Structure 1
Amino acid sequence: MIQNIPLERILFLDIETVPQSASWNELSETEQYLWDKKTKFQRKEDVTAEQFYDRAGIMAEFGKIICITIGMVEKNETLKIKSFSGHDEKKMLQEFGEIFNSPRLYNVILCAHNGKEFDFPWIARRYLINGMQPPAPFQMFGKKPWEIPHIDTMELWKFGDYKSFVSLELLAHVFGIPTPKDDIDGSMVSSIYYIEKDLQRIVDYCEKDVLTLANIFRRMRQEDLLKRNINLD
């Protein structure tokens, strides 16, 4: 039961991603060809590969991470939050990976919403693409399912119903948690990053998602909401 998991062992996590390039025209011919081939069966007949490029931010082969926010619960029932962000993805991933050298994060459990389908594999793939090994909690090869330290709140909500998808925003609503989408939502991240060039606004949004994620997990355990504190040491 999730009530038996020590809350202080859980690292709540969310990432924000964008296409690797601001526009289709910035891609090389090879990249355009590979994108066309990759998405051929995902596009409607009247949608070109160029028109579909705004979805590159959801594919690790064609996107990049611009923000990773983590949160851990302190004994005083406060969620301490820290964000890693920037335009240099490799440097950001290096800084993020260093946190797993801390004794506190030995045997840490990762928690994200739709993390098993998105956040966890995305992070691992981008490490490899940037020429680095993923941190230990993201490495799954050779492990039995119950040995993988991952919690996915979407999976918890499914209760075995694999046909169902539920957004973080909807779960926040049904559990009476303030919405994290009071400023922007995921569909706006790319334009805010490339056109408005407002990375801090994206970081703020990511931090709200992590607080909401942690509180959804708390509600699933029938526990009170957490307070928020920035700067996780």
Structure 2
Amino acid sequence: MLEAISSEDILFIDIETVPQKADFTELPEHFQKLWDKKSVYFRDETQAASDVYERAGIYAEFGRIICISAGVIIQKNGERFYRVKSFHDTDEKKLLLAFNDMLEKFTSNPGKKLCAHNGIEFDYPYIARRTLINGLRLPRILDISGAKPWEIKDRLLDTLQMWKFGDYKNYTSLDLLCAVFDIPTPKDDIDGSQVAQTYYQEGDLDRIIRYCEKDTLALANLILRYKGESIISIDNLLVV
């Protein structure tokens, strides 16, 4: 399938999310009760709901998006470059408006694809859910509720699903695949588990943005490896 897709027709994305509030005690009381019910399934009997609140960012009902990086592979003078733009705002609605507008324009041309690692189970539904929660219209490419699996695969690429080859037992991280394919890792600074702390306690959004952008370059390079092609150097990363 990948051989029939031009690398330049793919938009590579990654999102960074955090809990809605910096601390569990800042949640409205009814949301504290709802998180208590939600978290009972993954916390042990010695833990309170507040003890596992750092995990709230992975759930669209309890978290929010603070950054979406999106990039494309381009050709300049016979050489490949990777151009990336990040969408970020303290107002999540403004962030989603800007990103979704870009996404609609990019995918308006036939044959354009969206790609993320574990996108089918995380990035794509998370963006869609937060879009609806913010009262916005879904981009057509993410309006997949009720769609057949083959209809989704025709529009949305997922490097994790590709690597599974039909095996649904295991999760393979982007970091591990980068190591396997000898791709420079984006995990040279922070990782996903540190995003909330970096955002709320350190207030360093720029650090998160750089991390997110490197993730999308790693994602693009993984697709190139899947296609048996040379990867793009970090020196050819163009931030716009």
TM-score, normalised with respect to structure 2 = 0.93
User: What is the SS of the residue equivalent to 1:74?
Assistant: strand
Which 5+ residue runs of structure 1 have no aligned equivalent? none
User: What is the SS of the residue equivalent to 2:48?
Assistant: coil
Moved more, 10-19 or 107-116: 107-116
Q: CA deviation at 1:101?
A: 4.2
2:237 aligned residue (190, 213, 228): 228
CA 1:57–1:104: 2 relative to 1, 3 Å: closer
Give the 5 Å matches for 1:52-131: 52-76=52-76, 77-102=80-105, 105-107=108-110, 108-131=112-135
Does 2:143 correspond to 1:135?
Answer: no
Equivalent residues of 2:69, 2:216 under 8 A apart:
yes
Cα deviation code 1:67-86 (max 9, x no counterpart): 00001111332111000012
How high is the sequence identity, in percent, across the aligned residues?
52
Does 2:16 correspond to 1:16?
Answer: yes
CA 1:4–1:48: 2 relative to 1, 3 Å: same
User: What is the SS of the residue equivalent to 2:75?
Assistant: coil
Q: CA deviation at 1:143?
A: 3.4
Equivalent residues of 1:124, 1:139 under 8 A apart:
yes
1:157 aligned residue (160, 163, 168): 163
Equivalent residues of 2:67, 2:209 under 8 A apart:
yes
User: What is the SS of the residue equivalent to 2:16?
Assistant: strand
2-structure distance, mates of 1:206, 1:18: 13
Does 2:205 correspond to 1:199?
Answer: yes
User: What's the Cα RMSD here?
Assistant: 1.3
Cα deviation code 1:36-64 (max 9, x no counterpart): 11121221111110101010010000000
Does 2:183 correspond to 1:183?
Answer: no
Equivalent residues of 1:99, 1:105 under 8 A apart:
no
User: What is the SS of the residue equivalent to 1:75?
Assistant: strand
The alignment of Structure 1 onto Structure 2 pairs a total of residues equal to 231
Q: What's 2:150 paired with?
A: 146
